[in-house]
Amino acid sequence: MPRPVIHDNDGHVDDILSSLLLWLSPEVSMQAITVTDGDCFAQQSFEALVKIATFLDLEGAEIAYSDEPCPNPFPDNWRRESYIINELPIFSDNDFRSPYQTTRPRKSQTLISDVLGNSKQKVTLVCTGPLTNIAAVFEARPDLKSNVEHCFVMGGAVSVAGNVEMPDHDGTAEWNFYADPMAAKKFIESGLPITLIPLDVTNNVPVTREFLLKLDAQAENHRASQLAARLFGLVKGFNYYFWDTLTAAAVLRPEFFTFKDQRIDVAGNGKSQGKTHASLFGGKKVRVATSVKIEPFEDMVLEILRRK
């Protein structure tokens, strides 16, 4: 039986691609996709996801968003890509299709609470943006934890340098956790079963030219591959990694990964806010991904993107 999944994300290229991987996989029953105002402008990313679902004739998941700002916003020039994604020419085909979702979108926290409260099966959470939405849900409704099967989180830098370069920060944090450090801290300390996909593993899996050539080769015959190629085209020239797609892969193919259990703590404030580090006595025990088999992972991504 497919596992019910909620994907909470912040609407950037790799977030959208991770949604596609989950949505197109028969192992998953996508229940909800919720957008937080992280590395995007949330309404733009919501509209883009509706267009993507229309373009690919997808079904099942309700899409929602929350535009409450993160305490430490992502740079505007990164977030503006959500406008570009929302206006991709590829969506012109949608003029001849019925829109995937026409009702007024619900707030992310409301949808997440509704799915968790009414699902007959325990639900898997996949979190690939700041944890603002998810932490707020469990702070308001701690009883909903009992209906969570597992949480897969892209975030943190446990034994490697962070990727935050801001004037008042020491560079030790990863961006999702830095964007809302207290939400990350509360979530890690929530007692929920968590698998963390940190920079320690994603740093080793860049989006390579060889991968993109393979994707381009199958794009002519597969709409999902064509869309993925257009999305990756927006970040050409940057050092771009499979951050969120690896997180989706950990749900679909955990056998590709090596994990270890560690007690993890998160700095909630100060110049190191958002920093994750292993702790002997503090924090909470979570499962941390330490390595991944790259070739099988890339093959899986390409295979899934041939399904539509």
User: What digits encode the pLDDT tens for the residues 256-270?
Assistant: 999 999 999 999 999
CA dist 170 and 161 (Å) reads: 10
pLDDT of residue 237: 76
CA dist 117 and 141 (Å) reads: 10
Res. 238: pLDDT tops 90? no
pLDDT interval class at 236 (50, 70, 90) = confident
pLDDT of residue 279: 85
CA distances, 62 to each of 116, 213, 231, 243 (Å): 13, 33, 22, 24
211-234 burial: b if 16+ Cβ within 10 Å, else e:
beebbeebbeebbbbbbbbbbbee
> What amino acid is encoded at 34 in this protein?
T
DSSP per-residue codes, 194-245:
EEEE-HHHHTT-B--HHHHHHHHHHHTT-HHHHHHHHHHHTTTTS--B-HHH
pLDDT digits (tens, 9 = 90+) for 177-235: 999 999 999 999 999 999 999 999 999 999 999 999 999 999 999 999 999 999 999 99
CA dist 106 and 120 (Å) reads: 21
Res. 46: pLDDT tops 80? yes
pLDDT digits (tens, 9 = 90+) for 57-102: 999 999 999 999 999 999 999 999 999 999 999 999 898 889 999 9
Res. 132: pLDDT tops 80? yes
pLDDT digits (tens, 9 = 90+) for 151-186: 999 999 999 999 999 999 999 999 999 999 999 999
CA dihedral 298, 80, 91, 102 (to 10 degrees): 110
For residue 303, how many other CB atoms are within 10 A of its CB? 11
Note down the domain range covering 251: 3-304
CATH number for the domain spanning 68: value is 3.90.245.10
**Across the chain, what does the average pLDDT equal?**
96
How many domains would you assign to the chain? 1
Res. 289: pLDDT tops 90? yes
pLDDT of residue 1: 86
Closest to 158 in 3D by CA, of 206, 125, 194:
194
The three-state (H, E, C) secondary structure of 247-267, written as one string = HHHHHHCHHHEEEEEEEEEEC
CA dist 247 and 277 (Å) reads: 19
pLDDT of residue 114: 98
pLDDT interval class at 281 (50, 70, 90) = confident
CA dist 260 and 257 (Å) reads: 10
